[in-house]
Structure 1
Amino acid sequence: MSGGVQTSSLRPSCLVRRVEAVVNTASGSTGPTSPEELSVILESFGLEHRIHSPEGDLETCIAQALGRKPDLLVILAGDGTARAAAAMAGPDGPLLAALPGGTMNMLPRALYGQRTWQDALIDALRQGAVHEVSGGEIDGHPFYCAAMLGAPALLGRAREAVRHGQMRQALKRAKVAVGAAFLGRLRYALEGGMPRKVEALSIICPLISRVLDEQEPALEIAALNPKNAADLIALGLHAALGDWRADRNVRTDLARRVRVWAKGAIPAILDGETVHVGSVAEVRFIPLAFRALVPVDEPVCAPGDLRVTVPTPRTVPESTLPV
């Protein structure tokens, strides 16, 4: 776990007993049996739970679930829903388990690694800890892994078309992104710094940064200057996961606030989802965005770490799990 996930204090009397869960059965890593399978897992821990599988507005369903004041909110859905749930829960809300239920699963992968959603939930309930997650915000839009601003973000629309099997549309959108790459540059200024010109900005949160730790609370700002279409596509596909410090065309800084502006609307992708940003955007660091329930791989707590206490799970016969 990177430094962006910090262990918080949890009162020993604070037990996970009541769980609200929201499942999108139409997202990338779920299916019609997911709610039943989730219920079986929660039941095996003896947890009082309610599972919602709305066909309509997921955010309204999340708001209603939060209104019931659960100890734990479980989200099994796509990237956009996970990001919305984290924002709605906030630092004062219940613990959040944002499970990998979508296609990219940026936030869930940052919290649970390559675990399946079933293993992530079971491990977190069996031996979990509360961690405070920091993040960023762009004009009211929160993000917890990374943001891409500039022409490479236009490739996000092409990726969405590929996801839905619309290959012709994907190619068309990719051409638009490449064509727009060098038509207008971004300008940005770190707090107290001079304005700079750049083709694109990648803003990386401590949760996935390779250089930030809890002693250095800030955002990692990577100024990107692709030289050609191939560079642009590489940046668009690997923006959130690349090691920018190894690229001679990239300049990195640390900052808590950044101002970004352009001649027109700024293309933006936050945690894998396209959002609408105006021609001027303010980026700020959020020291405590929400509290996540995550597995602890080590058999003994680290100093200051405090496990979440849940009932010992009962044995669940394999025959009871949905096929």
Structure 2
Amino acid sequence: MSWTPAVDLKSAKIAAVVNVASGRCSRATGAALRGQLARHGLEPAHLWCGLGADLPGVLDEVLADKPDVLIVLGGDGTIRTAAERCEPGGPLLMPLPGGTMNVLPRALYGGRTWRQALDAVAARPQVRPVTGAEVAGQRFFAAAIFGGPSLLQEAREAARYGEFALAARKGLAALRTALDRELICLWDGGDGAKGEAVAVLCPLASARLDPGEARLEAAVIHPEGPIDAVRLVLSAAFRDWRADPDVHCAMAETIEVLGNGPFPGLLDGERFTFEGSLKVRLVPEAFLALTPG
């Protein structure tokens, strides 16, 4: 899978959607987005600002108008919902970070703010096909985490931003349920491992997979106890947690996660509760993203 040549945004039909209820958005964000686009000589044909509860209907309406480019500014749930609606034939998606974890925007644009990401893309727009994955009827495009330790993700993000007291409070609260259930992870129907959490990374988020590789990365996390779990989460804020001795990694086209009873999970930062056994399958070239060239 290779990146395609740059595109001409000034001749494109642009639609923009802003969820004002996301963690870092407000009613003023829509006007700010319009102003930032105007700096590059761009004017959206449609710009919607509103609450996430209205998002599904709004996306249906916006996509029915067949825009060339869809800009989405919001949190992880907003962006994942929009990405699920996009297809290999378009529109081109520009998911801008407006939430807390910003999993998919971070995978595409690094640590840039939404203004910095928009400026970088507008200056030299390029199209990148994004391969994702699907589980229990839901898609994700960067990373999923299954099991109790997924609740520690908020603590990890607090630590990343230097809010160590908040990280400690969230971490200790999450530990009450983080280590009470074991999962089994099987890859390609053969080998497997047991652990308290299973992370699945798409090529976009994996340092070990090439962008065009038709495989997923599975990481099985097995901390020995609460102290190891806290160490794993805090160290993950500053380095690759897959290098940790309590993490077992494998590459596969299909991944099964087996568990008894309900267990929590995160798909691109959005929280879900899953039951029983799950099968994660690859979705090649799920949509096309706009990235800096």
Partner of 1:72: 69
Contact 1:202 1:239 in 2 (8 A): no
Contact kept, 8 Å, 2:204 with 2:211, in 1: the verdict is no
Q: Does 1:37 align with 2:32?
A: yes
- 2:255·2:281 contact (CA, 8 Å) conserved in 1? yes
> In structure 2, do the counterparts of structure 1 residues 269 and 240 end up closer, same or farther at CA, with 3 Å as the change threshold?
farther
Q: Give the one of 3, 7, 26 matched to 1:7.
A: 3
Structure 2 counterpart SS, 1:29: coil
- Give the deviation of 1:283 after TM superposition: 0.7
**Matching residue within 164, 180, 195 for 1:183:** 180
User: Which is richer in strand?
Assistant: 2
User: CA separation in 1, counterparts of 2:146 and 2:48?
Assistant: 34
Counterpart of 2:47 in 1: which secondary structure? strand
Relative to 1, partners in 2 of residues 1:260 and 1:241: Cα closer, same or farther, differing over 3 Å? farther
**Does the Cα contact within 8 Å between 1:187 and 1:198 map onto a contact in 2?**
yes
In structure 1, the residue matched to 2:20 is 25
**CA distance 1:72–1:195, shift in 2 (3 Å):** same
- State the distance in 1 between where 2:19 and 2:38 align: 20
> Residues 274 and 209 of structure 1: is their aligned pair in 2 closer, same or farther, counting only changes over 3 Å?
same
Q: What CA deviation, in whole Å up to 9, does each residue of 1:245-265 have, x standing for no partner? A: 422222110011011111111
Classify 1:124/1:40 alpha carbon distance in 2 versus 1 (closer, same or farther; 3 Å): same
Percent of aligned positions with the same letter in both sequences? 39
The 3 A distance-change label for structure 1 pair 255 and 15 is farther
CA distance, structure 1, for counterparts of residue 106 and residue 152 of structure 2: 21
Q: Which of residues 101, 105, 109 in structure 1 aligns to 2:106?
A: 109
- Cα 1:222/1:106, change in 2 over 3 Å: same
- Give deviations 1:222-251, integer Å, cap 9, x for gaps: 111101113223445676985244222221
Relative to structure 2, which stretch is displaced further, 239-248 or 269-278? 239-248
Alpha-carbon separation, structure 2, partners of 1:194 and 1:223:
12
Residue 133 (structure 1) aligned with residue 130 (structure 2): yes
Instruction: Say which one has the larger Rg.
Output: 1
Per-residue CA shift, 1:142-181, capped at 9, x if unaligned?
11221111110233577899xxxxx99x95x755642334
Q: CA RMSD in A?
A: 3.1
Q: Using the alignment, how far apart are the partners of 1:249 and 1:157 within structure 2?
A: 20
Preserved contact between residue 195 and residue 220 of structure 2 (Cα < 8 Å): yes
SS of match in other structure, 1:125: helix
Residue 261 of structure 1 pairs with residue 246 of structure 2:
no
User: What's 2:47 paired with?
Assistant: 51
Map of 2:268 onto structure 1: 271
CA distance in 1, matches of 2:112, 2:180: 41
Within 5 Å, give how 1:288-303 maps onto structure 2: 288-296=285-293
Q: 1:13 to 1:22 in 2, by over 3 A?
A: closer
CA contact (8 A) 2:9 2:122 kept: no
SS of alignment partner, residue 263 of structure 1: strand
Q: Aligned AA for 2:277?
A: V
Distance in 2 (alpha carbons) for counterparts of 1:62 and 1:288: 21
Query: Match for 1:93 among 90, 99, 108?
Result: 90
Aligned equivalents of 1:96, 1:49: Cα separation in 2? 15
CA 15–134 in structure 1, closer or farther in 2 if over 3 Å, else same: farther
Which segment drifts farther, 37-46 or 250-259? Answer: 37-46
Which residue number corresponds to residue 282 of structure 2?
A: 285
Q: TM-score by structure 2 length? A: 0.85
SS at match of 2:122: helix
Q: Residue 63 in 1 paired to residue 72 in 2? A: no
CA distance in 2, matches of 1:213, 1:125: 25
Q: Distance in 2 between matches of 1:295 and 1:247?
A: 32
1:114/1:175 Cα in 2 relative to 1: closer, same or farther (>3 Å)? closer
- Separation of aligned partners in 2, 1:23 and 1:74: 8
Pair 1:85–1:218, CA change in 2 (3 A): same
Q: How far did residue 195 of structure 1 move?
A: 4.6
Q: CA deviation at 1:286?
A: 1.6
2:146 aligned to which of 149, 153, 168: 149
Deviations 1:62-90 (A, max 9, x none): 22111110010010111110111111113
| Aligned length, in residue pairs | 287
Look up the SS of the partner of 1:294 in the other structure.
strand
Query: Per-residue deviation at 1:24?
Result: 1.6
Higher relative contact order (CA closer than 8 Å, sequence separation 6+)? 1
Given the superposition, is the C-alpha separation of residues 283 and 238 from structure 1 closer, same or farther in structure 2, using an over 3 Å criterion?
farther
